[in-house]
Amino acid sequence: MTLVLDTPRLTVRDYAPADLDDVAEILADPAVFWWETVPFDRERARRWLADEMGLAARDGTGRRAVVLKASGKVIGGAGLVWRDVEGDREIELGYHLHHAFWGQGYATEAGAACLEHARRIGLRRVVSLIYVDNPRSEAVARRLGMSPEREVAWAGLPHRVWALELPVARRHLGLGRRRVVGELSRRRGAR
């Protein structure tokens, strides 16, 4: 099952190998993956893209391409990824945008679509791990209805866990989140 989320201005969809040019351009910008110490050259971007596509194929998680409908260009990434946060298994909503597309509400629009998708597949809770000095990312989380919970060390840096409890989607009452994601992968396998 491929994932396509539709919003007024964006399509959030599975990555494809043909996205490499756009992805490499975004990842090469030091303002985007600012925490990386090694520059993202094209080969590293290719591996990053393959990893995200691998997650999607494995269990339906992974960041997806955020595509501007007006141009068809990939302007960023957003999606749900499993994280081990100090021993707790959490689903993280991650997002990033090409620098040229900041300040227009696109990250919030893509993030809201991902949260709605999370709710539909029966996830009960989504977090974002946000570096303590990343006000733009905090503002996105706040606009998405997330609240700060606690500080954790993540990738060697102080981060805050922002969390949102999701209402139970009716058709998933009684299902655990692992089962739901497992169900996603089985559907993919049956494709």
Ligand X SMILES: CC(C)(COP(=O)(O)OP(=O)(O)OC[C@H]1O[C@@H](n2cnc3c(N)ncnc32)[C@H](O)[C@@H]1OP(=O)(O)O)[C@@H](O)C(=O)NCCC(=O)NCCS
23 near ligand X, judged by CB under 6 A = no
DSSP class per residue in 62-75:
EEEEEEETTT--EE
The distance of closest approach from Cβ of residue 176 to ligand X in the complex, given in angstroms and rounded to an integer, is 26
Structure tokens at 170: 């009716």
- CA dist 96 and 43 (Å) reads 20
Of 80 and 184, CB closest to ligand X: 80
List strand residue ranges (DSSP E) for 132-185, in order.
147-154, 157-165
CA atoms within 13 A on the CB side of 84: 1
The distance of closest approach from Cβ of residue 172 to ligand X in the complex, given in angstroms and rounded to an integer, is 27
139 near ligand X, judged by CB under 6 A = yes
The distance of closest approach from Cβ of residue 99 to ligand X in the complex, given in angstroms and rounded to an integer, is 7
Instruction: Let me know: does 74 contact 26? Beta carbons within 8 Å.
Output: yes
107 near ligand X, judged by CB under 6 A = yes
For the chain, the C-alpha Rg in angstroms (whole number) is 16
Quick one: which segment of 12-20, 53-61, 95-103, 119-127 binds ligand X (CB under 6 A)? 95-103
- CA dist 101 and 105 (Å) reads 9
> Which one of residues 73, 108, 175, 188 is an interface residue with ligand X (CB under 6 A)?
108
> Which one of residues 19, 106, 122, 161 is an interface residue with ligand X (CB under 6 A)?
106
Q: Which residues bind ligand X (CB under 6 A)?
A: 32, 95-97, 102-108, 128, 130, 134, 136-137, 139-140
